[in-house]
Chain A
């Protein structure tokens, strides 16, 4: 067993056995002494060191392998004895001493050698020449401005490259990249390593603040790593499940998954097969590809698996663009289907009722009764499929004032299409059953479309026109079809059923509505004289038929604001 040492030889890091390190160090020291008379001694030594590094690199199969004494001996043999090396060129004439090529511009890097988190601040500090501690404080302060510091730091962490090579480190500090500077830097590093090995603190003028930040940084990094790892695993799982769900959902929507019907989306009632398939494929690509890449990235981070090869990534991106273009075209094509609309108004001949009142009732659709397949039962979009037709439960009934003296029924059908003609033809395929027996008018709760039709905004509505003085009884259950019927009391649709509404020049009015909700006690309290009940507008008065007060309240008059509006006589 041998102790190993980590050294920087010619800019590369090596693990070397301690004895081998001593041997190599002696060799290099001997060379230094031998070359002491030479003009470019440091440069020569640096070159030799680089070459040694190259030789070691060739010898070692992988980075973790350790340089042994045998390998050092071999390298020394190839390089030659110090006196041989020096012997070739002893006579030196003083020449130009500076390196003929050097670059001395500054570049922005991250300094991994002096880092708290990622070396961003120290990298910037090299660039602009101020103490990194101030920058760190600035970033920490900026964290409290909506986390700006955090985001900025993360962005910089991603975009700034780390100074890896000695040349880059010199560029970072704005020092000329010459052999001498490289050598000095390396020496400094070797010194640091040696110092660390012997248990000393590296010679580095670090302030207490720096050390505090170091500790804080270490805790932060450990914490963040744990959180990232923990949540990363969860997110990966969720993402994977999401992807799988998306996949099956799309399959089911396309109808490619036998036995799985997805009524929620009703895609087959909206989209023709071409649009459906194009839509499913493009949505699958547009959502699936980024999810897949994200998943891969997470897995790669968590389990340190290799990155996807570039061609695969490029292909994925191309596929995504293809999907996006396809999605746009599909969407455009689908919206075109709704571009033109057509409306058809028909006056439906109805019999005039013998009395003054027409009963409005709902005509139940057969599909409901005789076991059609209920495809959707959401209140906004109800469809039943039965035999060769489908029922769309979407009919609206309005009641308006008739111009003449007769009841009138107007049916309005509308549909949409990519041309007016198509829309028109869609209207003609709408089937609307109506039934009337004497004073009972039965309007349907839905309309028929041939099986396989697409929903293209087909709508059916009725307007029942009521002449002045005549009434409509809106039967219970009609609330499914009546829609926003105007009336003088602003009564809501669902409260309009079960009542008789009379058309007046002012609009629909419920004659019997004001009546009957007060209890006997109330009546007793409000009957002032001779059975006249004076109430205020909001109070409804009910005179129960079995009332003990019946005798007393033979004649009930209701006055609103002094004006008598109701006069109920209980006498036959």
Chain B
């Protein structure tokens, strides 16, 4: 693996945590299969290449935050549909809290001109 330069490394670190949070948010809205999730992440410009999603999903599943069921699809082989487990729900609740704290922290430490807009 080519070593990442310091900037890329920091960017990747930042994105990684946020990405996980966002994925949980998407799945919290209802069961979803990877292509659904990818669609939303692409709209949000959080994901550039699709391949990054799968390792994340697998890890979250292995952490028992997500569960999936196989469902037949009309157009092809069965698909995995992901849902949040109860554990995942608690986890996400905690993340909401963390996110608010982080946002405040960023706001507090950033000069007025660079502050991220509230959306």
Contact = CB atoms under 8 A, between A and B. Distances in A.
A84 B49 contact: yes
B72 interface: yes
A179 B57 CA distance: 13
Contact of A11 (B55, B66, B78, B85): B78
A101 B63 CA distance: 14
A38 B69 contact: no
Contact of A47 (B58, B72, B85): B58
B49 A53 contact: no
Given A83-B2, A95-B64, A166 B77 contact: yes
Ordered nearest first, which 7 A-B pairs have the shortest CB separation? A80-B49, A11-B77, A85-B51, A80-B51, A95-B62, A40-B58, A89-B55
A345 interface: no
Contacts of A83: 1-2
A188 interface: no
Contact of B57 (A47, A57, A81, A165): A47
Secondary structure dominating the interface of B: mixed
Contacts of A78: 49-50
Contacts of B54: 44, 47-48, 51, 85
Contacts of B16: 88-89
Interface in A174-209: 177, 179
B109 to A, nearest CB: 26
B61 interface: yes
A35 B55 contact: yes
Contacts of A84: 49, 51-52
Contacts of B59: 38-40, 89, 92, 95
A488 interface: no
B2 A80 contact: no
A351 interface: no
A79 interface: yes
B56 to A, nearest CB: 6
Nearest to A97: B62
Contacts of B1: 34, 83, 86-87
A11 B51 contact: no
Given A85-B49, A85-B54, A89-B56, A40 B72 contact: no
Contacts of B85: 100
A12 interface: yes
A444 interface: no
B106 interface: no
Say which size band chain A's interface belongs to: 35 or more
Contacts of B78: 11, 165-167
A50 B79 contact: yes
A85 B61 CA distance: 17
B69 A101 contact: yes
Contact of B34 (A39, A47, A85): A47
A99 B61 CA distance: 8
Contacts of B69: 101
Contacts of B61: 40, 99-100
A54 B77 CA distance: 9
A35 B2 CA distance: 15
B56 A88 contact: yes
A100 B34 CA distance: 17
8 contacts: A34-B1, A50-B34, A50-B80, A51-B50, A80-B48, A85-B49, A95-B59, A167-B78
Nearest to A43: B58
Interface residues of B, number: 37
Interface string B64-78: 101111101001111
B15 to A, nearest CB: 8
A123 interface: no
A96 interface: yes
Contacts of A43: 58
B34 to A, nearest CB: 6
Nearest to A10: B77
Contacts of B62: 39-40, 95-97
Interface in B68-101: 68-70, 72, 75-80, 85
B12 interface: yes
B26 interface: no
B16 to A, nearest CB: 6
A38 B55 contact: yes
Most buried by A among B38, B59, B72, B79: B59
A321 B37 CA distance: 51
B35 interface: yes
A48 B70 CA distance: 15
A100 B69 CA distance: 9
A268 to B, nearest CB: 57
Contacts of A167: 70, 72, 77-78
Interface string A163-174: 001110000000
Given A100-B64, A165-B77, 10 more contacts: A47-B54, A50-B79, A80-B51, A86-B1, A87-B4, A87-B52, A88-B52, A101-B69, A166-B77, A167-B77
Interface string B20-45: 00000000000000110010000000
B35 A51 contact: yes
B17 to A, nearest CB: 11
Contacts of B57: 47
Contacts of B4: 87
Contact of A95 (B12, B63, B77): B63
A80 B50 contact: yes
